Amino acid sequence: MAQKFGFSRSQPQSPKQAYDLKYNSSRTNILLALILTVVNIGMLIAGGDSYFLFSIFVPYYAVMMGTILTGHYPPDWTPEDYEDLPVLDNSFLVVMIVIAVAIMALYLLSWIFSSKHRVGWLIFALAFFSADTLLMLLLGGFDLTVLVDLAFHIWVVVSLAMGIHAHSKWKSLPDEAPFSMYAYDQTVDAEGMPVTEGDPAATQPMDPSFDTPVLRYADETVKCRILLETEVDGLKITYRRVKRVNELVINGRVYDELEAMVEPSHELNAVVNGHAIAVGFDSSRSRSYAVVDGQQVATKLRWY
């Protein structure tokens, strides 16, 4: 369906949506680093010796120093490794954990509140992660592990900077009306492919009898989030998210879908019973919408 009408689910549908996708991809790196940091700290407290390289340095370093200075030494250390270290009360470890949690909470807030193009929080994350990189160089010493971690830190810093740049480009573009990629009365060429209005190849209105092939029946037993639901001319239109997949479901059948960890602005389309149907997400307005035959029939505010 998507390729027949000249666009792909893997490609952004407009320049504004392309910059929106880059911005949200930048935000995803904050969440990835945060998750791996939590895992690393959990394994450290549990006494494990595994470590994911792609994480935030300062929270992990704080907890590591808390465990070492309270006598919870790594299992591969010998007495010579810690004979000159003081042994502090366990309350010091608790304080270090609280500091680590507070720092990670700031990253979590920057990820949450940088949505909807609130770029100030992304700038905050960039400044905070840049400081984390500097402290890693000052406190972490120099070995192969640090070099790999440094490469990751640089990648995240560059990614956040690119996200901020994408926001400035996104903001400079005019707002786009949330209407279907192809309208009911769009003209087509002799082979039924959509063409620009006024093109000499345009011969006839799009045939409303063309129905989009069904991808599959919708699984009604799976846990899902209903993003929008409406009914038009006997067609029950459901726009829902199942795990990481957004689906356009019409009368219990899936006609179009998009898989994404973080939702960019997007649109799902189908023609059913002669009606051109589109549902989608407009991230600039934080709204789901449904369009039937070029007319918006439903909209819903999205909080997350």
What does the pLDDT look like over 191-240, one tens digit per residue?
Answer: 444 444 455 444 444 444 578 899 999 999 999 999 999 999 899 999 99
Q: What percent of the chain has pLDDT over 70?
A: 77
Residue 188: the pLDDT is 45
Q: Which two three-digit tokens encode residue 106?
A: 């700031």
Helix 144-172 to helix 119-139 angle (10° resolution) is: 160
The list of the chain residues with pLDDT below 50 reads 1-12, 177-197, 200-208
β-strands 275-282, 287-292: how paired?
A: antiparallel
What pLDDT score does 242 carry? 94
- Angstrom distances, CA of residue 278 to CA of 62, 193, 241, 290: 50, 18, 15, 6
**DSSP character for 9?**
T
Residue type, 14: S
Q: Is the pTM of the predicted complex or chain greater than 0.75? A: no
**Residue 194 per-residue DSSP state:** B
Distance CA 290, CA 202 (A): 27
pLDDT at 200: 47
Bridge partners (DSSP) of residue 217 are 253
Contacts of 74 (CB under 8 A, 6+ apart): 49, 68
Can you give the length of the chain in residues? 304
Contact 178, 2 (CB under 8 A): no
The two three-digit tokens of residue 146, written as one number = 């640090």
Contacts of residue 243, Cβ cutoff 8 Å, sequence gap at least 6: none
Helices (H) and strands (E) in the chain, counts: 6, 11
Closest CA to 27 of 132, 102, 109: 109
Of 244, 280, 247, 274, which is closest to residue 262 (Cα–Cα)? Answer: 244
At 102, give phi and psi (nearest 5°).
Answer: -65, -40
Gap between the Cα atoms of 189 and 215, Å rounded: 26
Extract the tokens encoding 64: 């590591």
Closest by CA position to 41, among listed 126, 85, 100 = 100
Confidence (pLDDT) at 90? 84
